[in-house]
Amino acid sequence: MRKYVIVVLLTLLALACKEKATQAIKTEEIAFTKEGEVQIFKADSLLVKLDVEVAATDYETQTGLMYRSSMAEKNGMIFLFDDVRMHSFYMKNTQIPLDIIFIDENWRIASFQENAQPFNETGLSSQVPIQYVLEVNAGLAEKWLLEVGDSIAFKKTN
């Protein structure tokens, strides 16, 4: 009987500690940090210039724009991959709708996914092998009249 009481007490103690630890976790808004600049061109004409954050590590790539409630129109996030291959993105824990622009190794738009919906965990494929991805607010690809073949220039600032 004594062994049973000890097991029950330890279980209750563990549950109480877990509940307190869960309560202590807070998800704060992640602030935008400019790490680079992107320019998008149609032929030789500059369409738009953006300030971007850079996702290069595994953690940055997996987290992306999660846990943010908004993003300025001239901001975005660029993902830099080491290899050219098919890539797929999803919107888990992403609160804002996005346009996902898939870019080939020559910095040309290869495909894009417009208006990716918040919290949707469906995979959004690049459709073709690519090396880079640019995420911007939903609706901007249409506003800028982006097309496959438009070019991108990227410069890291930090």
Asked whether 129 and 104 are in contact (CB, 8 A), the reply is yes
Report the distance separating Cα 107 and Cα 151, nearest Å: 6
pLDDT at residue 29 in the model: 75
Q: Which residue in 93, 96, 97, 83 sits closest to 126, CA to CA?
A: 83
Q: What is the model's pLDDT at position 20?
A: 43
Domains and CATH numbers, the chain: 29-156 (2.60.120.1140)
Residue 8 has pLDDT above 60, yes or no: no
- C-alpha distances (whole Å) from 104 to each of 16, 80, 85, 86, 107 are 51, 11, 9, 10, 5
Q: What is the pLDDT of residues 88-115, one digit of tens each?
A: 999 999 999 999 999 999 999 999 999 9
Which tokens go with 97? 């709708």
pLDDT of residue 2: 54
pLDDT in tens, 9-20: 455 555 555 444
How do residues 36-86 score in pLDDT, each as one tens digit? 999 999 998 999 999 999 999 999 999 999 999 999 999 999 999 999 999
What whole-number distance in Å separates Cα of residue 127 and Cα of residue 50?
25
Please give the model's pTM, rounded to 2 decimal places: 0.81
